[in-house]
Structure formats: C-alpha cells, structure tokens
Amino acid sequence: MDILRTENLYKYYGKGENEVHALDGVTFSVKKGSFTAVVGTSGSGKSTLLHMLGGLDRPTSGEVFVDGKSIFSLKEEELTIFRRRKIGFIFQNYNLVPILNVYENIVLPIELDGNKVDESYVQEILTILGLEKKLNNLPNNLSGGQQQRVAIARALASKPAIILADEPTGNLDSKTSMDVMGLLKVTSEKFKQTIVMITHNEEIAQMADQIIRIEDGKIVGGERACIQ
C-alpha cells in the first residue's frame, strides 16, 4: 500500500526573472514501511520536496496524498494536527527550541499533542544516541552533531508513521551515522514506520528500498523510481 504519493508536484519561488522552479512536476509513491532515499546536488529541490511531503509548505500546483488523502485540501489547523500526529521531521538546521533543554525539546511534540511520554522508549533512544548526560543542556551548549542527535530523538519520540529526514547524518561521524541508521532501521521495523531521507551518503542511499534522484526539480531516470 502507498502511504505517500505525489502527483505532478510543482513549486515555484519568486516572480519574473527571479522565478525558481524548485519542483518541476514530481510524481512518485512510497510504500508503507519502506525506506526511500532522496539524492541530488545542492539546490536540486530535495528540501522543498520534503517540506511538501510533510505539508510544511503548499505547492504551486499538484498534490500530496497521505494514506490516500489529499493533505493540501486540509485547513491550516487540520494540517498542523496532521503533521504533529503523523510526521516526524528531522530538519537540516535542527529547528530546536533555544529556550528548552534537550529533554524538553525531545518531548515537546508529544506534549503539544496532549499525549503521555513513553519514558522507557525515550530513554532507549537517548542511550543509542549518546544523549543521556545532556538532558539538561540548552541547544546552544551542544555541538552541531549533538544538536542533530537531539533533532533525531525528537522526531522518533512520538513514534510517527512517517519520518522525513533532511540529511540527518550530515553532521555526524561515520560511526555515529551508522548507529543512527541502525536506530532508524530498528524503530521503523518495530513501529512500521516509513522513512524518506535526503542524503549525500551513497552508502546510506544504497540501504534504501527506493532511490529518488532529483535534478533541477525533476526526478531523473524515469518519472517513477523503482522499488529495488
């Protein structure tokens, strides 16, 4: 079953001479429980695509379907709730809340949704990510790699159906990167999660069930990538 599907997705930024075609007719689908890697050079439209998949921004035209439902037909408030319940985002720039400590950042999406934190699960994630001694630190007292791990923990803590990750291992050394990939593999199998991950790391891309290659806002090598 396709948990995610895009249909003729276009996103243009700017006007006239400054118009940028960040996404130029993107159609593909993602099977529930699969791991999709998105690869492409800088500026090719990867982050824009991820933002559209999670309903963070609206396309110029085209559709994103999650579980067969068009997410852009939702009202802004419904879209916010959908995102909180279904999607775990790992942003390239972490997007941590500077006035909250590590633990508070990690459980924030769960608390915003009025749910109870699964403390033993959060503990398990923290241990694997090596964050258990940093719980009281504020984000600006952490290194880039540590902030990235907090962002990963936050995305996983609510056990979302879909994890959208923008180069989640970009600031990690190769051992930690592989630990993070191992963690994602274990949690995605355990909770039947679907992962869409932007990566520059070929080794990681090769672990995926499907690779989407993007150039100038278009999928290259055929409109639809094949499940390998």
Ligand X SMILES: Nc1ncnc2c1ncn2[C@@H]1O[C@H](COP(=O)(O)OP(=O)(O)O)[C@@H](O)[C@H]1O
Alpha helices in 59-158 (DSSP H): 76-86, 102-112, 119-129, 144-157
x/- map, 7-36, ligand X, by CB under 6 A: ------xx-----x-x--------------
168: partner contacted, choices Mg ion, ligand X, none (Cβ within 5-8 A by kind): none
The 10 Å Cβ neighbour count of residue 3 is: 21
Q: How far is it, in rounded angstroms, from Cα 127 to Cα 31? A: 30
Q: How far is it, in rounded angstroms, from Cα 25 to Cα 7? A: 8
Chain residue at closest Cβ approach to Mg ion: 47
Half-sphere exposure (Cβ direction) of 220: Cα atoms closer than 13 Å: 12
169: partner contacted, choices ligand X, Mg ion, none (Cβ within 5-8 A by kind): none
* 194 within 8 A of 32, measured Cβ to Cβ: yes
> Considering only residues 26, 35, 39, 40, which one is a binding residue for ligand X as defined by CB under 6 A?
40
Binding site for Mg ion (CB under 5 A): 47
What single string gives the DSSP state of each residue in 173-206?
-HHHHHHHHHHHHHHHHHTT-EEEEE-S-HHHHT
45 binds ligand X, rule: CB under 6 A: yes
- If the CB atoms of residues 92 and 115 are measured against Mg ion, the closer one turns out to be 92
> Considering only residues 42, 120, 143, 228, which one is a binding residue for ligand X as defined by CB under 6 A?
42
**Smallest gap, in angstroms, from Cβ of residue 167 to Mg ion?**
7
How many residues of this chain interact with ligand X, rule: CB under 6 A? 12
**Smallest gap, in angstroms, from Cβ of residue 168 to ligand X?**
14
> Considering only residues 26, 35, 46, 62, which one is a binding residue for ligand X as defined by CB under 6 A?
46
26 bridge partner residues: 9
Footprint on this chain of ligand X (rule: CB under 6 A): 13-14, 20, 22, 40, 42-48
